Amino acid sequence: MLLPMTDEPGTRARLINAATRLFRQRGYDGTGLAEILAEAGVPKGSLYHHFPEGKADLACAAADWIASEIVRVLDDSFRAAPDWRHGVTTYCHKMAKLFDILNSADSCPVFGLLFDGPDQERFRGHAAAAFDRIIAAAARHGEALGLAPVTALDMAETFLIGFEGGWMLARMRRDSAVLRSLPKRLYGPPAS
């Protein structure tokens, strides 16, 4: 079958969904295969069919998926933004809303899921690559808004560093206000 044509998510997608959610909440080592399988409603055999290397494979797929989601939100936020600050502000508010939806707290930042894991080197590399993809996306928007390439990259990095730390604190405090206050923290009071 070239095209599934069925709208309901296939086995593979359901696995990634469940894994993403659970890893985000309990971390890689904190989540058992049994849990993922139960939530996805998928037997063990299927997991090892779609992800021959097992849990690690699944985690990488989940990380890639969540990174692409982040990029999507980023693109959304900058679509109609007149300048950098507006784009960033919209992004922070969108993510704050998401934070509130995700049962308001216990979920790791963008993909903090990737730090434990057995062969740490593979995970680390994967996380770094995913994060760089996100930074690049933000920098692209900066350039489109007239920033010099070097400046855009620098601002994108700085912002996402702040955002990661902000998400961490928001999580600790169970309060998305930290995220909403980020633009003001980083760029001072709004000019307007």
Partner DNA sequence: GCATGATTAGACCAATCGGTCTAGTCTTCT
Partner DNA sequence: AGAAGACTAGACCGATTGGTCTAATCATGC
Least CB distance to a second copy at residue 176 (A) = 14
- Closer to a second copy at the Cβ: 4 or 30? 30
Among DNA, a second copy, none, residue 26 binds (CB under 5-8 Å by kind): a second copy
Residues near a second copy, by CB under 8 A: 26-30, 105-106, 108-109, 112, 115-117, 120, 124, 127-128, 131, 154, 157-158, 160-166, 168-169, 171-174, 178, 182, 185-186
54, 125, 165, 190: residue in contact with DNA (rule CB under 7 A): 54
Q: Is the dihedral of CA 74, 79, 85, 86 positive or negative?
A: negative
Interface of this chain with DNA, residues 5 to 34, rule: CB under 7 A:
10-11, 29, 31-34
> What are 64's two structure tokens?
């890639």
Cβ(187)–Cβ(168) below 8 Å: no
Q: Calculate the CA 77 to chain-centre distance.
A: 15
Can you tell me the distance from the alpha carbon of 46 to that of 54, in angstroms, rounded to the nearest whole number? 10
Q: Is the dihedral of CA 122, 68, 35, 163 positive or negative?
A: positive
Can you tell me the distance from the alpha carbon of 174 to that of 104, in angstroms, rounded to the nearest whole number? 6
- Is residue 101 at the binding interface for DNA, with CB under 7 A as the rule? no
45, 82, 188, 189: residue in contact with DNA (rule CB under 7 A): 45
- Is residue 44 at the binding interface for DNA, with CB under 7 A as the rule? yes
13, 25, 27, 35: residue in contact with DNA (rule CB under 7 A): 35
> What are 8's two structure tokens?
């309901």
Cβ(128)–Cβ(118) below 8 Å: no
Can you tell me the distance from the alpha carbon of 33 to that of 100, in angstroms, rounded to the nearest whole number? 27
Residue 122 burial (10 A CB sphere; 0-12, 13-18, 19+): middle
9, 49, 106, 185: residue in contact with DNA (rule CB under 7 A): 49
21, 50, 86, 93: residue in contact with DNA (rule CB under 7 A): 50
Among DNA, a second copy, none, residue 174 binds (CB under 5-8 Å by kind): a second copy
Contacts with DNA by CB under 7 A lie at 1, 10-11, 29, 31-35, 42-46, 48-50, 53-56
